[in-house]
Amino acid sequence: MNLVAIALAGLGTPLFIVVSFLSLHSFYSIDIDLTVLFIEMYRLAETPSLTAIPFFTFSGFLLAHSNAPNRLVALSYSLLGWLSGGLAIVALFICAFFTALTGASGVTIIALGGLLYPSLKTAQYDEDFSLGLLTTSGSLGLLFPPSLPLILYGIIASVPIDQLFLAGLIPGLLLLLVLSLYSIVKMPAQKEVCRPVNKQPIWPLVRDSIWEIGIPFILVGGIFSGLIALSEGAVLCTVYLLLVEVVLKKEIPLRALPDIIVKSMGILGAIYIILGSSMAYTNYLIDQQIPNALLSFIQLHIDSKWILLIALNLFLLAVGCLVDMFSALILVVPLVLPLAQAYEIHPIHLGIIFLTNLEIGYSTPPIGLNLFIASLRFKRPIFHLYRASIPFLALLFVCLLLITYIPALSLVLITS
Amino acid sequence: MRIRRLKKRAVQLEYWLLVLLFCSTFLLSFGQILLRSTFNTTFPWTDSAIRHLVLWVGLWGALWTTRNGNHLKIEIAKHWLPPPLRLIVQLIVSAFSSIVCLILSWQSIRFIRDEITYGTESIGGVDLWIFQLVFPAVFTLMAIHFIQIIAHCLRVYLRPNRSLGQ
C-alpha cells in the first residue's frame, strides 16, 4: 500500500490526500476506529500558536500587493548603490527581507523578480548570475523572523518560537554575507552603468519606506520583550499593514482586499490541511515505534554525531528538492526529532539545519520548486536555470556545512 | 446552463464565506487584544472561539485551493508526461482523491455523531459539534470538486478536439 501511495504522490496527487490515505489504511489494518483521524485533526483547534499563521500569511500578501517592493528597491539602491556589486547585494537583502515576511511560498520571485531582473540585466550583470541570484534568493531569508517555516517548526517540534527566531539570525546573516561577497566578485567588469539616472536623495526614500522597514523590528522587539504574544504580534502586524497600505498610503484599494484574503487563505489552507491530515499518521508511526526502529537501525550503522549530520543533510536536501518546505517540515520533523535527541543535537540547532537544507533544496535541480517558479517568471527553460543556480547552491552548501558543524552559530544567542 | 449558473453561485458562496470567516477571525482577535490592553479583561470563550475560527478558515482555504488545483504536491508527472497521458493521470488522481475525500467525510460525520452523544463542552453556549461541522462540509465539497474534474476529463477524452483548458 505504501508503494501505491508513493506512486500516486509521484503522479501529482495532493499530498494531503496521500497522507490521509496512508492514515486510513494504517489504522484500518490495526483495527482502530477511523474516527481517530478527526480526533487528531481536531487538535488543530487546540494549538494556540497556529492562530498566528493566517495573519502573517495575509500580511505578506498585503505587502506584496502594495508598492512596498518598488519603494524598498529604490531605497536600498540609494543606500548601497555606491558599493561594488551594490545592486546584486540590494537584491539579496530585499529578497531576504521579503521572504521572511511572506514565507517561502514563491511570492518573492513573483513579486520581486520582475523588478530586480531587468535592473540587474541593464547593469550588465551576467545573465546566468542574475537568474541564479534571483532563483536562489526566493527562499533566502526564511531563517529570519517572522518566517512561517520557523514558526511551523516550533509548533511541530515543541520548541519555543522566540528562541528559534533568535537562533536563525546569525546563520541567516552568514548566508547573506557569503552571497554578498560572491556578488562583489561577480560584479560586471565595467563599473555598473545603470546607476539610477535621476539618483534620488535618500531622505524622502527613507520616509517612504520607514513604515515597512519598521515591521520586523517592532515585531521582534514586542515578542522578545514579552509585551505581545506571537499570535497577537501577527494580528497587530495585519492591523498595522492595513492602516499603512490601505488607509494611509492608499496603495491597495478596499475592493482589492477580498481577493487578497482569498489568495492568502488559499495558501494557508494548503499548509493547514497537510498539517491536519498528518497528525493522525504521525501518531500512528510513533505508536508503531517507527521512529525508534529507525533510530536503532541508524545506531547500528552510525556511531558518530558528525556522520549522522552528513547523512541527515543529504537526506534533507533530497527531501527539500522533492517536497515543498511546509509538507517536508510537517512530515519529516517528527521522524528526525528522536534521532537528534539520541545523538544529542539541540532541537533548535536541528531546526536551523533543517530549514537551511530545505532552503537550498528549494532551488536544487531537478525539481526544486524555486526553479520552476523562476522558469515561469523569467520565461527561461528550466535547464538554463539549473546551470545558473549551481554556483549559488555550491556556496550555500558550504554555509550549510558551517551551520551544521558549528552549533554555536545557531545557539550562541540563545545560551548567552 | 442551469448547472453552470449553479456552479458559479457555489463558487461565489465559497469565496465570500472565506472572506467572511477571515474577517470574523481578524475582528475577534483584534477585539480581544483591545479588550485585554484597555480594560485588562476578556471573555472566557474568545481564545477557544478564535482557534476554532482559524480551523474554519484553514479548512475552507483548503477547499478553495482544491478548486484552484493548487494543493501542495510532487509535480514530476506534470512536467515530464506528454499531454495525452497527463489526462489519464489526472483522471486516476481525481478518482482516487474523490474516494479518499468521501471516506474522510463519512468518518467525520461519525466523529461528530460521537461528539453529539458524549460531548459536554461548549464555546460561549454553542455546542462544540457545531464548530466541527466544517469537517464533513469541506470534505464533501472537495469530493464533489474532484468528481467534477473526473467528469471534465471524461468529456475531453471522449471529444478530443476540445482542449484541456475548457
Identify the DSSP state of A51. G
Residue A36 CA: distances (Å) to CA of A20, A234, B108, B112, B135: 12, 32, 9, 12, 13
- Report whether pLDDT(A197) > 60: no
**Using a CB-CB distance cutoff of 8 angstroms, which residues of chain B are in contact with residue A53?**
54
Considering just the CA atoms, what is the radius of gyration of chain A in Å? Answer: 22
Of chain B residues 7-26, which have a CB less than 8 A from chain A?
15-16, 18-19, 22-23, 25-26
Closest CA–CA distance from residue B95 to any residue of chain A (Å) = 10
Classify each residue of B73-96 as buried b or exposed e, where b means 16 or more C-beta atoms within 10 Å of its C-beta: bbeebeeebeeeebbebbbbbbeb
- Strand, helix or coil at B127? strand
Using CA atoms, how far apart are residues B41 and B31, in angstroms rounded to an integer?
Answer: 11
**Using a CB-CB distance cutoff of 8 angstroms, which residues of chain A are in contact with residue B26?**
55, 235, 238
Q: Do B75 and A12 touch (CB under 8 A)?
A: yes
**Using a CB-CB distance cutoff of 8 angstroms, which residues of chain A are in contact with residue B22?**
54, 58, 261, 265
Tell the residue number behind the cell numbers 556545512, with chain if given.
Answer: A401
**Which among B68, B73, B107 has CB closest to A15?**
B73
Q: CB atoms < 10 A from the CB of B61, how many?
A: 29
Classify each residue of A35-70 as buried b or exposed e, where b means 16 or more C-beta atoms within 10 Å of its C-beta: bbbbebbbebbebeebbbbbbbbbbbbbbbbbbbbe
Q: CB atoms < 10 A from the CB of A144, how many?
A: 22
pLDDT score at A220: 76
pLDDT score at A347: 94
Q: Which of A50, A105, A262 to mutate to test the interface with B (most CBs of B within 10 A)?
A: A262
**Which among A238, A324, A367 has CB closest to B76?**
A367
β-pair type (B122-123, B126-127) = antiparallel
**Which among A14, A38, A239 has CB closest to B72?**
A14
Residue with the larger pLDDT of the pair A204 and B6: B6
**Which among B58, B74, B97 has CB closest to A10?**
B74
pLDDT score at A20: 94
Locate B73 and state its grid cell: 504536491
Q: Which residue of A has its CA nearest to B20?
A: A258
User: Degrees (nearest 5) of the Cα angle A174, A176, A177?
Assistant: 65
Name the residue type at position B134: V
- Measured over the CA atoms of residue A196, residue A252, residue B50 and residue B139, the dihedral's sign is negative
Using CA atoms, how far apart are residues A373 and A342, in angstroms rounded to an integer?
Answer: 38
Using CA atoms, how far apart are residues B42 and B36, in angstroms rounded to an integer?
Answer: 6
Q: Do A45 and B52 touch (CB under 8 A)?
A: yes
Name the residue type at position A274: I
Judge whether B150 is closer than 8 Å to chain A, CB to CB.
Answer: no
Q: Do B111 and A35 touch (CB under 8 A)?
A: yes
Q: Are A137 and A91 in contact (CB under 8 A)?
A: yes
Residue A296 CA: distances (Å) to CA of A51, A93, A343: 37, 43, 12
Determine if the pTM surpasses 0.90.
no
pLDDT score at A43: 87
Residue A157 CA: distances (Å) to CA of A21, A171, A216, A334, B21: 24, 20, 24, 7, 29
pLDDT score at A279: 84
Q: Do A372 and B75 touch (CB under 8 A)?
A: yes
Locate B123 and state its grid cell: 464555546
pLDDT score at B161: 62
* pLDDT tens digits for range A139-196: 788 899 888 899 999 999 999 988 999 999 999 999 999 999 998 888 776 554 445 4
* pLDDT tens digits for range A37-80: 999 999 888 888 888 889 988 988 888 888 888 887 778 777 77
Q: Which residue of A has its CA nearest to B80?
A: A11
Locate A323 and state its grid cell: 517536497
What are phi and psi for residue B104, nearest 5 degrees?
Answer: -60, -40
ipTM (interface pTM): 0.91
- Number of A/B CB contacts below 8 angstroms equals 180
Of chain B residues 73-132, which have a CB less than 8 A from chain A?
73-79, 89-90, 92-93, 96-97, 100-101, 103-104, 107-108, 110-111, 114, 131-132
* pLDDT tens digits for range A224-235: 777 888 888 889
Q: What percent of chain B has pLDDT over 90?
A: 55
Judge whether B153 is closer than 8 Å to chain A, CB to CB.
Answer: no
